[in-house]
Structures are given as C-alpha cells and as structure tokens.
Chain A
Amino acid sequence: MCLAIPMKVIEIKNSEAVVELGGVEREANLQLVEDVRVGDYILIHAGFAIQKLDREEAEKTLSYLRQMAEMV
C-alpha cells in the first residue's frame, strides 16, 4: 500500500503533471511537492506526487555503494 513509483515529468499543467514510465503515461497531482520541472523524476503514490527525487543524493548513494563493493 505504500508503493510509490518514480516517474518522469513530461508536461506540467497548473497543479497537474503528465508523468511517464516505460511508455505508460499518467496524470499526477503536484499539490504535495514544490519546484517540480519537466524532466524531474517524482515519486507517485495514489495519484499524487509525494516527493521530487534528489538526483545528487541518488548518485552519491550509488557511488558509495560502488566504492564499498570494490573494497571486498
């Protein structure tokens, strides 16, 4: 029930966005998030964006994990 899917914003109309994943498009309400732009990835839950994903943090986590893996 707490499933939320990262989807890419392809269009913004007022407080609604058109988001896309694997060719599937959906509408998402943007009232719960701030500063969303076309090209951003947002987490979609029950028709609402609940967070804008932080690319810098995502890359930091991955590069930390790759470093850890190299140390094995």
Chain B
Amino acid sequence: MKYVDEYSDAEIVQKLLAKIHSTSQSHPKRIVLMEVCGTHTMAIFRSGLRRLLPSNIRLLSGPGCPVCVTPNHYLDKAIAYARKDDVIITTFGDMLRVPGSSSSLEKEKSCGGDVVVVYSPLEALKIAQENTGKKIVFLAIGFETTAPTVAATIKIAQEKNIQNFFAFSGHKLVPPAMQALVGYKDLHIDGFICPGHVSTIIGSKPYEFISEQYNIPCVVTGFEPLDIVQAIFMLTQQIVNSEAPKVQIQYRRSVKEEGNLRALDLMREIFEVEESNWRGLGNIPESGLKIKEGFSAYDAEANVPVQVEETRENEACICGAILRGVNTPLDCPLFGRICTPESPVGPCMVSSEGTCAAYFKYGDYGK
C-alpha cells in the first residue's frame, strides 16, 4: 500500500463512471457540484475527468486556492515589507508572481528586494537563525491545512528564543467561505466536493451546517482519480435518490470526523478567528486567523511598521467572479489573450492551482 497508485486504477474508474452515468441519466435536472479546493481543481483537470462525466453533471471550481483569494491589500503590504532594507521576505513560491496594485514580489526581487522562496515555514525559521541582523517576514497564507504548520513554527521560535521571525498572517478558513457561497442568489450548487487536507485537520463536522441548514450534500474527498470519482458517485446518489443531505467522508484513510486534534489545539493556541477579506468574496465574518496577543512578538504586523500604497484593482480581470463560481475563465475577455501563465494579469492565472491556470494548461474548455 503506497496510498497513491492504488487509487488510480483506470478499470475501476471506468466502471464507477458507468455507474455515475446510469445513476444520473434518470435525473431530470442538471447536477452542479463544486470542488471547493484548488488542489482538487488541478487533480480533476489533470485526470481529464470533466470530459468523462455525463452531460448533466457540471463541475464548478470554487475559491479554494489560497493565493487566488488573497486580496491586493495583503500583497501590497508584503511588497512594502520587501522594500525595507532590514527585511527578508520568505514565501511559498506561488505568491511570487501575483500582481499587487502596482508591483509584485518578483518585480521587487529583481529590483534588489530580499525575497526567498521556501517550501516550509521551518526553512524561514532557519533563515532567521542564520540572519540575526535582519527581520524575517514569512507570508503565512493558506487554509486550515497550512495554519497548524505556521502555529508549530511560532512555538518552535518561542522555545528557541528566536526574536527575528515574524509571520504575516493571511490565513483563511474554508467553511465560512462555503457559507458565503451558498448565500449567493446567482449561484446554484447541488453538492460540495469538500477539501481532503483541510478536512484532515478540521474533520467533517464543520460542514454539517451546510447539509443541515442549506440541504446541500457534502463529501470529503481525496485527491486521486478514484477518490474523486467515488465522491461524485456518492454525491450523485444522495441527490438522485433525494436522500436527506448529509456529510460523508470518502477520504477515510486520512480524515477522521473530529479531525487532527493535536493540530487544531496548536492552531487555536496561536491564532484567533477574525473577519477576513477574500478576493471576489469580500469580507466574510470569522473566516480569517490572526495571531493572538500572547504571541504578538511573532506577528509581522505588530513589529514591522510599513507604509502601504493605496490598493487598486484591475477592473478588467474577473478573478473575483470566477472565485465565486458565477463565471468561468471563458467569460473573461483577457483569458488566453492578454492574460496567460507567462504574463498573468490575475492570481487565478498565476497560481498553479488557479482555475484560469487549469483551463489554460489543460485546454478543457468543453464544460
């Protein structure tokens, strides 16, 4: 058991797809399923699943790409940090090329800004230990999957008395964004493919309000082709058989109902919940994480003062509507012409998990 190859068996995938076709053909309406997570969006496009589904099942990509939903004012502040001589910015690679109001971290780097791409917040901590004369600002973006790794890093910084490591929290929480989505009148969703690794941390219970209050079934799903096909089958069954909507876990090898309690405890020790601004979705109550006062010594915003330029948005870019699920990249006048992976205008084209990047790379314009 290697937990990957076993879940890519093409023969079983085909047979399950046949079951999905026969289950859904009797259904009189179109079935719209949203994959909330950007990692799912990429897995779905990479496997070509969209083309193999019945014509009455539509997959919609949601706001689950952390880079994409990070608003311009966060980027502008990160860029302002990068312009300070005594700061080294440490960041996940996807953030580098995202345009802010007038610059990007990549541009700042080419102008001499100290910007280092890291794979883990622990690498940022190591850079802090090696550069005691500098302030190391780590761009802490990501959902519940990533926040505990930053919380653990802050604890290690405290234990080792490292005083020049600062996290700039842009962490966001997935269930409040799903609640915002189901409130949109111009968006209809019949079922949610819930993120497998966010749920590895938070469990399946935080989605229960969606099935109970909004009557929308949810399936917590893994990332291999068989996982996704099974989840679509489970959702289709709930919808076609008019079962009472419920939350089911497909990804049982990783997700427990209660989640990862150790990671959750650590996350709650370091962070508190606050309102947060999402690109495309606006301000959502209790959807972001801020560093608690007791750990403010590790909070970039409390320790590294900067002047931030006035935030501007690119009016022509429709990333916001794409993140809300009300438009696809094909509705955007910039897509594929002015906005490409080589010369991206909006974050959904920059991020390797962005919906525009997926449409562009895999050319799956059919559905």
Contacts and interface: CB of A to CB of B under 8 A. Distances in A.
Given A1-B92, A68-B19, A69-B16, A47 B149 contact: yes
Interface residues of A, number: 33
Nearest to A54: B253
A32 B262 contact: yes
Contact of A32 (B7, B143, B149): B149
Contact of A41 (B1, B37, B143): B1
B133 to A, nearest CB: 25
B39 A1 contact: yes
A41 B2 contact: yes
A2 B143 contact: yes
B23 to A, nearest CB: 11
Q: Contact residue range for chain B?
A: 35 or more
A69 B15 contact: yes
Nearest to B120: A47
B123 A54 contact: no
The A interface, classified by DSSP as helix, strand, loop or mixed, is mixed
B66 to A, nearest CB: 5
A3 B39 contact: yes
Contacts of B18: 72
A35 to B, nearest CB: 11
Contacts of B3: 6, 41, 53, 58
A55 B1 contact: yes
A8 B6 CA distance: 15
A1 B122 contact: no
- Going nearest first, the 8 A-B pairs with the smallest beta carbon separation are A47-B120, A58-B253, A69-B15, A6-B3, A57-B252, A2-B197, A2-B145, A72-B15
Interface of B: 1-4, 6-7, 11-12, 15-16, 18-19, 37-39, 64-67, 92, 94, 119-123, 141-143, 145-146, 148-149, 152, 155, 195-198, 200-201, 223, 226, 230, 233, 250, 252-254, 260, 262-263, 266, 351, 353
